[in-house]
Amino acid sequence: MSWFLFIVLSILTLGGGLGVVVTRNVVHAALFLLVSLVAVAGLYLILFAEFLALVQVLIYGGAIIIVLLFAIMLTRSAEYPRISDNRQWPLAAVAAAAVGVVLGAAFLDNSLPQTEPNSPTFGDLANSLFTTWAIPFEVASLVLLVALIGAIIIARTGEDNR
């Protein structure tokens, strides 16, 4: 059962990913990305990481895709329906494949003793996050704040155009 789900979700993930990098239409690419990200959330569920799956759907599937779609809309360009790749794409393909092979081979070459997939409870997660990882957590929130302010300042129109 889990194999079946894994294969289906893998196909969706990789298919979505391929769609993002292959399609000639930017909007299509965003939708393919959505498919891929949601499929990844499904994969998290197979791994019993319910919280992460939830976060994945909310932030990626929701916020990030929306932001991307907004950006596409705001920067609407005549070539968006038929964008082209740059000249080095064949070499890029080879290099990317090679990187994939290198990573895959590295993983397969170093198999680790492993247990059944299990998952912490929400409580454990929360405890760890707010005790052991408290400072990184606060830093992350600061990063978010700075990014928010930075984004506003960068994207703002108005007096800086004078």
Interacting positions 34-63 with another protein (CB under 8 A): 36-37, 40, 43-44, 46-49, 51-52, 55-56, 59-60, 63
Identified binder of another protein from the candidate list 35, 42, 61, 95, rule CB under 8 A: 95
Identified binder of another protein from the candidate list 12, 35, 57, 64, rule CB under 8 A: 64
* Beta carbons of 14 and 30 less than 8 angstroms apart: no
Q: How far is the CB of 11 from another protein (least distance, A)?
A: 10
Identified binder of another protein from the candidate list 82, 123, 135, 155, rule CB under 8 A: 155
Identified binder of another protein from the candidate list 82, 123, 135, 157, rule CB under 8 A: 157
Backbone angles phi, psi at 132, to 5 degrees: -60, -45
Instruction: Identify residue 99 by its one-letter amino acid code.
Output: V
Placement of tokens 């319910």 in the chain: 50
Instruction: Identify residue 2 by its one-letter amino acid code.
Output: S
Footprint on residues 109-148 left by another protein (CB under 8 A)? 111-120, 124-125, 128-129, 133, 136-137, 140, 143-144, 146-148
SS3 48: coil
**Is residue 17 exposed (0-12), middle (13-18) or buried (19+ Cβ within 10 Å)?**
middle
The rounded radius of gyration (Å) of the Cα atoms in the chain is 20
Footprint on residues 1-40 left by another protein (CB under 8 A)? 2-3, 6, 10, 13-14, 17-18, 20-21, 26, 29-30, 33, 36-37, 40
Q: How far is the CB of 72 from another protein (least distance, A)?
A: 6
Cα gap 46→42, rounded to integer Å: 7
